[in-house]
Amino acid sequence: MPQILSGAPVQARILENLKPRIQKLSRPPGLAVVLVGENPASAIYVRSKIRACHELGFHSDSHQLDASVTTEDLLQLIDTLNRDPKIDGILVQMPLPDHVDARQVLEAVAADKDADGFHPTNVGYLVANRPAPRSCTPAGIIQMLKFYDIRIAGRNAVVLGRSDIVGKPMALMLLHENATVTICHSKTHHVAEVCRRADLLVAAIGRAGYVTADFIAPGATVIDVGINRVTDAQEAAAFGRSAEFAAKGKVVVGDVHPIDVQRMAGAFTPVPGGVGPLTIAMLMSNTVELAEKHLRAETLADAGPAPAR
């Protein structure tokens, strides 16, 4: 039987380790979350993040805006949050409406309040392997692999997907852990063959059940980042989820075929319940780290310049 890599115990450890750091701070860490529109999945994610803030004693600041909001309106809000001393981290929930310039909005978030690790400055620090907020989902995956004592160094890792949010930062983090890394994407030839060479396969492409048995080397570790809603009964049956579909009228599956991964992998993350909890945990971790940085800077500023010698 393959090992099931549940995210819940990893999340619990990350959050528990944050508590003594939070207690040492002179004020609560502050996280602002910006949600635009009525996307149900985004609303669920935001509620989970706000709940985690309350459980840890954060100061949380939630802004829910109408889908008609303009890029300029969002930029004004972010400028206000950038200047708010109670806010250490800012998260703009993606996706944004098509008429909003998402890149401009994300880059308007101050690099030292970038709780998601998306700002170009922080991406540059990731490339250089210097301390900075890291993209939450890939950072959580690294923590999961370490929690379950799954070796990274020296292994062949394949990342399926090249997004700025998961694929690219995931590849860099695995490289910094001394894996040999290949990135596959829509233009990769013989993609199943490339994936089948992986000791460690990370799937992040957003296509339900795309990764089938011929992508997976026997005994490989498979990390499934996908969250895909299936609303067709026949498709749900093909994933072995007929009973759940009958009860709910829909099911959630990852990018990896749930039957095939159990047959082929040595270890794998379930969907749901695998990677998802880690994203929230690492968002909390990034915010605490930013709060520590801001409070150190405030302490130094209050102390004034060092006396001349």
- Catalytic positions are 49, 93, 116
3-class secondary structure for the chain? CCEECCCHHHHHHHHHHHHHHHHCCCCCCEEEEEEECCCHHHHHHHHHHHHHHHHHCCEEEEEEECCCCCHHHHHHHHHHHHCCCCCCEEEECCCCCCCCCHHHHHHHCCHHHECCCCCHHHHHHHHHCCCCCCCHHHHHHHHHHHHCCCCCCCCEEEEECCCCCCHHHHHHHHHHCCCEEEEECCCCCCHHHHHHCCCEEEECCCCCCCECHHHCCCCCEEEECCCEEECCHHHHHHCCCHHHHHHHCCEEECCECHHHHHHHCCEECCCCCCCHHHHHHHHHHHHHHHHHHHHHHHHHHHHCCCCCC
Q: Which residue has the tokens 């998802």?
A: 276
- 8 Å CB contact between 89 and 290: yes
The whole-angstrom separation of Cα 89 and Cα 68 is 25
Task: Point out which residues pair with 63 in neighbouring strands.
Answer: 34
- CA distances for 287 relative to 31, 134, 259, angstroms: 7, 11, 37
Q: How far is CA 272 from CA 64, 98, 241, in A?
A: 26, 28, 13
Phi, psi of 200 (to 5 degrees): -135, 115
